Amino acid sequence: MTPAAGAPAKFHDISLRVSYGDTDKAGVVYYANYLRYFERGRTELLRSLGVSYRDLEIEHGIVMPVVEASCRYLAPCRYDDLVVVRSWISALEAASLTVRNEVFIRENDDLSKVAEGFTRHAVLNSLWRPTRIPEDVRRRLSGEGG
């Protein structure tokens, strides 16, 4: 998977350890927890671009709820695995954005992909109506700086 043409190519990786609470009775990561991993990756990606959810809400009066999500599972993660979540913005529209994610298990220097997917977010104002992404935020999200 690679960023779409015309979309920012800034990848951001975070590492996390699978906790016991993330797993089901069989000892594998419960399927819905991959969406939590996507959320953590997205939050840190935005932070690395100079955008925080808190500032979006307080300074700009906007929220970005998930309006679509997808995850394709390729292999299981288990308790205590070291996981890398790679995230990037694959689409930046007037009032929405899409973040792609890949999840890997890290073993020594090797990465083995175990899941991939995306979340699409509407950009809404305080009345929960679609609104344009503020220009200063758009510049940061597109990798042009702030």
pLDDT digits (tens, 9 = 90+) for 3-28: 444 444 589 999 999 999 999 999 99
Instruction: Beginning with the edge strand found earlier in the chain, give each strand of the sheet holding 66-73 in spatial order.
Output: 12-17, 82-92, 96-107, 110-122, 66-73
Report the C-alpha gap between 115 and 33 in whole angstroms.
11
- All residues at 6 or more sequence positions from 93 whose CB lies less than 8 Å from its CB, including other chains: none
| Alpha-carbon distances, residue 102 vs 54, 74, 95, 130 (angstroms) | 25, 11, 24, 28
Residue 21 is given by DSSP the state G
Q: pLDDT category, 52, cuts 50, 70, 90?
A: very high
Choose the catalytic residue: 22, 24, 55, 80.
Answer: 24
DSSP letter assigned to residue 29 = B
Q: What is the pLDDT of residue 145?
A: 65
Domains, in order of start, for the chain = 12-141 (3.10.129.10)
Average pLDDT over residues 83-106: 97
Distance in angstroms (rounded) separating the CA atoms of residues 48 and 68: 23
Look up 24 and say whether it is catalytic: yes
pLDDT digits (tens, 9 = 90+) for 105-136: 999 889 999 999 999 999 999 999 999 999 99
Helix (H) or strand (E) holding 107: strand 96-107
Check residue 143 and give its pLDDT: 80
The pTM for the full model equals 0.89
pLDDT, mean over the chain: 92
Identify which of 77, 71, 48 has the alpha carbon closest to the alpha carbon of residue 119.
71
